[in-house]
Amino acid sequence: MEIGFIGLGIMGKTMALNLIKAGYNLYVNDINKDAVEELSLKGATPCQSIKDITEHCETIITMLPHGKIVEDVLFREEGLYDCGSNGMLIIDMSSISPIEAKAFADKCSEKGIRYMDAPVSGGEPKAIDGSMVMMAGGAEEDFKQALPLFDVMGGNVVHMGIVGTGSSTKLANQIMVSIHLAALSEAAIFASKSGIDLNKMHQAIGTGLAASAVMDAKIPMIVKRDFEPGGKMATNFKDLRNIKAAADGMGLPLPVTTLVEEMFRSEIANGNENKDHSYILNYYERNGNHIINDNM
C-alpha cells in the first residue's frame, strides 16, 4: 500500500520509519533533505514536491510543526488541495488548534478530499517503540481506513468523534502535561533546596498519588541535566497558545494554564525554545537562585 508522509521532524521521522518497517511503500517529503535521505536509505521513496506524492498516494500523513505550515502544505499552489483528487484521505497528525482542523476539513471537503485530525502524545521515546497515544477526529469510515496505520505507529488510538475532537483532546492532554512539568519543577527545586536527592524523591513518591508519566520520564533528565529535546519548549508553548485561543473562543477561563503559559513565554524569551520542555525547570532555578545539581 502506498502512503505519503510529509514532515520528518523528531516525531515524524520515527513514525515514518515504523511504517516502512511494517512493509508500507512510503513516499516522503520534507524541507530537511538530510531527513529525506535518511528515510530513503531505509526504503522510502523521496519526493521533490507535494505533487509527486499525490501522483502515487491516495492516503497522505502530515506531521508538521504548527497550523500555519499545515495550511501552507494543504492550500499553497500545487499543495495537497490543488494536486489531490476526489476521495484522497489526509491524516494530519500535527498538533494544531481544533479551529484550524475544522476549517481545513471544510475546505478540503469542497473538493471531495477527506481530512482527519489525529495528533499524538508520548514524545520521541514512545514514537520509537510504537507506543504513542493517538487521538483521532473524523468520519467513522475514514478512521477505519486509517486504523492499520495508527496501529503501526502507536497502537493506542481512540476515535474521539468528528474532525476537531482529536485536536481538542490533544490540547486537554497538553494542559495536563504542561502543568505537570511546572509542578514537577516546583517540587524538584523545593526538594533540592531541602537537601533531598531527587532520585530518592522519585523512589519515595513515584508510586503514590503524585506519580505520573511526566515524573518518570523527566526526573532522570533533570538529574543528568540532559535537556536534549524529546519535546521542544517551542512546541509546548505553541500548544499552550492554541489552548488559550480555543478557551477564549469558548469564554472559558484557564487560570493555571495561563500562568504556566507565561512561564514558557519567559523561557522562550530567554532563548531556550529548542531545549526539552522539561527545561521549564530553568524558570524556577532563575527565580529561586538555585541550580539543582549544586547540592547533589
pLDDT tens, N- to C-terminus, the chain (296 residues)? 899 999 999 899 999 999 999 999 999 999 999 999 999 999 999 999 999 999 999 999 999 999 999 999 999 999 999 999 999 999 999 999 999 999 999 999 999 999 999 999 887 777 777 778 999 999 999 999 999 999 999 878 999 999 999 999 999 999 999 999 999 999 999 999 999 999 999 999 999 999 999 999 999 999 999 999 888 999 999 999 999 999 999 999 999 999 999 999 999 999 999 999 999 999 999 999 999 975 44
Which of 102, 126, 170, 275 is an active site residue? 170
- Predicted confidence at residue 188, as pLDDT, reads 97
On whether both 138 and 191 belong to a single domain, the answer is: no
- Predicted confidence at residue 122, as pLDDT, reads 80
CATH of the domain at 286: 1.10.1040.10
Show which of 129, 163, 197 is a domain's final residue: 163
Q: Which domain holds residue 251?
A: 168-295
CATH of the domain at 71: 3.40.50.720
Show which of 123, 141, 163 is a domain's final residue: 163
On whether both 46 and 135 belong to a single domain, the answer is: yes
- Of the candidates 216, 236, 232, 227, which has an alpha carbon nearest to the alpha carbon of residue 285? 227
- Predicted confidence at residue 294, as pLDDT, reads 54
On whether both 54 and 142 belong to a single domain, the answer is: yes
- Predicted confidence at residue 296, as pLDDT, reads 46
- Predicted confidence at residue 256, as pLDDT, reads 98
On whether both 123 and 220 belong to a single domain, the answer is: no
- Predicted confidence at residue 126, as pLDDT, reads 76
Q: Would you call 281 exposed, middle or buried from its count of C-beta atoms within 10 A (0-12, 13-18, 19+)?
A: buried
- Predicted confidence at residue 129, as pLDDT, reads 76
Show which of 163, 194, 215 is a domain's final residue: 163
Is 238 among the catalytic positions? no
